[in-house]
Amino acid sequence: MASNQVLLTITLPTGQKLQVVRGDITLEAVDAIVNAANGRLAHGGGVAGAIARRGGPEIQRESDAWVREHGPVSTGQAAITGAGALPADFVIHAVGPVWRNAGDEPDLLRSAVQAALALADENGVRTLSLPAISSGIFGFPKSQAVDVIWTSVTDYFEGNPRSEITEVRFCNIDAETAELFEARGRRAEAG
């Protein structure tokens, strides 16, 4: 895929623009991208591995320094580093839950998404791109993850009317996940 494709754009009642994008999050020219991270911020596989490879070794170095200073990132929380050679300024590392069907995964995923948005606000991020956290190697069912992530974003803006974030892009290289986000957005648009 040569470039990222916008599948859907909607504007929330709170004023933010939401876009569904099929493509590579490492190509997103936004203020920050969200990484689907593990608690030790070891970026070996999945989205994290792609971000670390494209962004260069400084992302892992900064991540290691963050963990040395603060300890591992708890599930449902997030950390922020620079973005290395990526077109973004920051990488926000959100730690979503591993799916175990324990019942608390939706709340933990919601917490991770909202922690990422709060870090974005704290760091002056206005445009943000995020993947379907936890729906890859962490095994969270894709359709359920999409619903939780979408609702977490819209609820964040309703609860934070002073947020300066203007645009959130749901970016996924996986066609199935991108289509699930597009379908979720169309349902929201239809009201």
pLDDT tens-place string over residues 66-107: 999 999 999 999 999 999 999 999 999 999 999 998 899 999
Residue 171: pLDDT over 90: yes
Output the CATH code of domain 5-190: 3.40.220.10
What would the two tokens of residue 186 be? 């169309």
The residue-averaged pLDDT of 136-159 equals: 96
- The residues that bridge with 171 in the sheet, in sequence order, are 21
Tell me phi and psi for residue 137, to 5 degrees: -65, -15
pTM to 2 decimal places:
0.96
Q: What is the per-residue pLDDT for 148?
A: 98
Contacting residues for 177 by C-beta, under 8 A, at least 6 apart: 132, 135, 142, 146
Residue 151: pLDDT over 60: yes
Q: What is the per-residue pLDDT for 3?
A: 86
Q: What is the per-residue pLDDT for 2?
A: 58
Q: What is the per-residue pLDDT for 1?
A: 47
Q: What is the per-residue pLDDT for 180?
A: 97
